Amino acid sequence: MGANTSAEYPTTSTFSQRGQKAVEKGTHHTVWDILSNLWDPETNPSGILSVGVAESTLLHDTLVEYINANIHLSTKHLTYNNGSMGSNALRASISHFLNRHFNPIQPVEPGHILVTNGCSSALEHLSWTFLNPGDAILLSKPYYSAFKTDFSLRPEAVVIPVSMGDIESLSPESISAYETAAIDYEKRTGKRVRAVLLCNPHNPLGKCYPRDIIITLMQFCQSRQMHLISNEIYALSVWDNLVDTNNETPPTPFESLLSIDPTNLISPSLIHIIWGICLTSRPSQVQLMMLTLLCYVS
């Protein structure tokens, strides 16, 4: 037998089918074109000046100074340490941090925590774990555009943008829009709607979900056996409004999904909370969560 030559094989993609789909979906992302050609007065004066990314550049010098002064590595950090879910010490610190700031109804234990290399990774893990290809997740409009990529690019789940029309998107009345979107998708496709994603505090609206709408969504997800995923990355980026002092309606304070008792509302196995240091974080947050994101699954 002679050696195989390229002429004996048809010219086909070397990617798997799902890999090829990911390439096609991920090729045209303007934001990555911008970030790969950022303006710099010395090294790239003809580059693009980006004002479309939520980075707190005014804090960069402070953060770098803090990190360089407080991060001390040992030889165990060059090993597998305690495994791929995050070291025991890190998860213990995170659980202490969450119990201190998120007012959980039950203490968060280190074993409840899975550390990932970003909230996007955590969302993708959840999509891959709970949604089959073609299954869907509900996401109210407007929304942070990268959520669609996180859930669909590789896991091949479908993000259903839920239009609220004249309904206040952060009100209990919005449940009817979620339900209509779920029923319509399942009738059209024969696939399941398996989850609802909240971004609380909301990006881009900058509002916090009231407790009553969170409770209503918990009941809604329980009734349809759907997962409720609460992305709380901006939880500690909420400040008092010192500008609109004449506003008769005070802003809604942040309340974590962790702080609401799920008893008689939803099975704890359907609740998932994501938090991590965000791009607008205060330096004090860096102590426990520097560049580390987590997914909490109850």
- In the chain, what are the domain boundaries? 10-53, 69-238+245-296
The whole-number pLDDT of residue 97 equals 92
> What distance in Å separates the CA atoms of residue 213 and residue 286, rounded to the nearest whole number?
31
Q: What is the pLDDT of residues 178-223, one digit of tens each?
A: 999 999 999 999 999 999 999 999 999 989 999 999 999 999 999 9
Angle between helices 175-189 and 211-224 (to 10 degrees): 30
* Alpha-carbon gap, residue 233 to 201, rounded angstroms: 8
The proportion of the chain whose per-residue pLDDT surpasses 90, expressed as a percent, equals 52
Q: What is the pLDDT of residue 135?
A: 97
Residue 287: predicted pLDDT: 30
In the sheet where 193-199 sits, what is the strand order? 113-116, 293-297, 271-276, 227-231, 193-199, 136-140, 158-162
Phi and psi torsions of 230, nearest 5°: -110, 110
> Cα–Cα distance between 132 and 115 in angstroms, integer?
23
Query: What per-residue confidence (pLDDT) applies to 2?
Result: 56
Global confidence as pTM = 0.84
**Angle ∠(182,185,187) on CA atoms, nearest 5:** 105
Phi first, then psi: give them for residue 183, nearest 5 degrees: -65, -45
Which CATH fold would you assign to the domain 69-238+245-296?
Aspartate Aminotransferase; domain 2 (3.40.640)
pLDDT at residue 294, as a whole number: 38
Residue ranges of the chain whose pLDDT lies below 50: 281-298
